[in-house]
Amino acid sequence: MKNLDPERARWIKIRMGMLCGLMGLGLGGIVSGAYHVQVDDGDEWFELAERQRQRRLHIQPKRGTIYDRNGAPLAESVEVPSVSLDAVEMLRGIDPKYLPMKIQQYSARVAEALNMPVEDVADKLTRRRRFAWLKRRVSEDEVQKVRELSDRTQRYPLAGLTIEGEGHRFYPNRELAGPLLGFVSPDGDGREGLELSLEHELKGHASEVHGLRDRAGRLLFSEGVEDEQALAGHNVYLTIDKGIQFTAERELEAAMKTYEAIGGSIVAVDPATGEILAMASSPGYNPNDYGAADPDARRNRAVADRFEPGSSMKVFMMASALAAKSVDPNATIYAENGTMAIDNVVIHDTHVSKWLTPTQCLSISSNICAAKIALGLGESRLYEGLRRFGFGDQSGIPFPGESAGVLRPRGRPWVQVETANAAYGQGISVTTLQLAMAMSAVANNGRLLEPLLVKRVNDGTGVTLSEASPHIRRDVVPAATAQLVSEMLVSVTEGEGTGVEAAIPGFRVAGKTGTAQKIDPTTGKYTDAHYIASFVGFVPVEKPRITIAVVLDEPVGGTHAGGSVSAPVFRRVGEMALRYLGVMPRGSVPMKLADLSKKAEAGDTAANTYQVMGEAKVAAAPAAGVVTPSAPMRAGEARVPDFAGWPAREAVKAAMGLGLTPTVEGTGRLTHQEPPAGAVLPKGAAVKLVFEPST
């Protein structure tokens, strides 16, 4: 600098100073930026670094199992292998100019191993994504082939293929309770039935597992899960009994084929608790292969379909009238010889009669007597009575898509013909579940219970989280009235009743038939071509153990009456259920209606709307096997029982059970037999039985 011109030296110093100043400013900016990044925004940058360094895996917990009331699995999750693809890893390090050729080569090898179209694999590789499902739920043979492709000891191994365990919903009983259970979609969500309504309990809680990853994104370390069972979905125990459910579905399917019906449903309930023991719907489907099922077959008709119940509604109209004391149980009602006009409508009876008691009104299902009783009760009290039995309202069952049925609101007064129609089940609609729960209220001394479908819920460790208990919705009618109606309903399954096909040997059955015309959607009028056949009842009358409602939609083949179509289904399901529940048949004597009617009265009986002609009498059928000894009996012989007062069905069955050949004359109850009781006859001999209608 000393040899330089002073002026030049001064400018050099100035330039050096400026350069140092700029460098100082730059260094200050760097230090300031580093301070801002590391101190002021340090937390944000640290979080970003952690996200880049760590890998988070979302762990989908195992879906809970659905069991029946006895612990038999109805739906469970099993782990099945699936193959995923990391396209970035598989194509790493390949020269771009060779990439199309390699994609085709790799796609062909993978497609051959997994039995997939080459185009599908090539499309996934071309997208260059870090994760994509190649094929879900693969076979063991396919798993082995994928492992061979990834084996590094082999020539030209393929990277980026991963075999992962994936939960798959499995229904071990195939079609059993299919519409009730529903199904689970491939993404693990319940879509229909209980799988949907119990989604929160069954699915569990998803969790994250944190770990380190290398340059290729592979997981190197996992923190693990502290309690795997705590993440699993809850196990649900239903009130359904697998044995009773199987019988209900078998008998329903047989009836569907026999009568070529388009649909049907059965609901079996424990009337003392409200627990649903079986809920069958036909046609059904296999939830393991729900994609191949018709959407119509996946519908649970027992809760979703509403229909006009027909004469089944007479039970609840009668109970409401007796509770309101608008009719005396011992009254006689003029049945108009089978034809009666109300407003501009003519009501007909199938069984032409002149005078009938309320019991006979139910027994032979008289529309005219039912209409007269309903008119005497009044539309307001009839509406309230049907509402109290649960009609026109959802039952509260935890199942999606439940229908409330249709019960015309009281806001618009019913005209006479509407009140009459409602008495025998026209102009209103119900579900099979509503029908079963309403009849259970009669069997349960007038208490309407809430239907129970979920018995208890356990977590993955076996701890009970919740347990259901019977819940009374309301007292519908007094207990004495319910007992009186129960005894009246026994006449439906005996003697000249419309439901004799529902009678179960050794038990007294209370029930009611229903045959309802369907409305033609094109004309809006009732048609004679299509019917709903139903039967609802409970057994045994003395201590009801099961209530069963059977509904068949549009039966054909020569008959459409509920007593011919649905009543036999009730009998077969009831017989099996009673044996299954350990209920043994025993002889019993029905209570007199007069005694029960006295119990139903809480004061002076209101003035009877109808003419009282005398007390209704119900003869008790003697216990099977009662005989009058008169002569010794040898091998190959049988002693004739005393059949006096027996209904025809029971007398014929008892005679045939002894090896005798009965010949029947007349209908009603037995008044004369030849030879007399106590006579000893060789097996195969004829016994003449003469029956006369009850008076």
Catalytic residues: 311
Q: How far apart are CA 214 and CA 350, in angstroms?
A: 84
For residue 283, is the peptide bond before it cis, meaning its omega torsion is within 30 degrees of 0?
Answer: yes
Buried b (16+ CB within 10 A) or exposed e, 140-167: eebbebbeebeeeeeeeebbbbbbeebb
CA distances in angstroms from 88 to 40, 150, 168, 216, 624, listed in the order given: 36, 15, 28, 9, 83
CA distances in angstroms from 247 to 500, 580, 678, 690, listed in the order given: 21, 11, 40, 37
CA distances in angstroms from 18 to 4, 8, 301, listed in the order given: 20, 15, 91
Q: How far apart are CA 270 and CA 247, in angstroms?
A: 16
- Please give the single-letter amino acid code of residue 388: R
Q: What six digits make up the tokens of 463?
A: 């701890």
For residue 451, is the peptide bond before it cis, meaning its omega torsion is within 30 degrees of 0?
Answer: no
| Eight-class DSSP state of 38 | I
Q: Tell which residue, 498, 487, 517, has the closest CA to residue 562.
A: 498
231 three-class SS: helix
Q: Are 290 and 467 in contact (CB under 8 A)?
A: no
Gap between the terminal Cα atoms of the chain: 146
What ranges make up the beta strands (E) of 507-585?
510-519, 526-539, 546-553
Alpha helix (H) ranges present in 478-585?
Answer: 479-490, 562-565, 567-580
Residue appearing with tokens 């989280």? 465
Q: What six digits make up the tokens of 467?
A: 């347990």
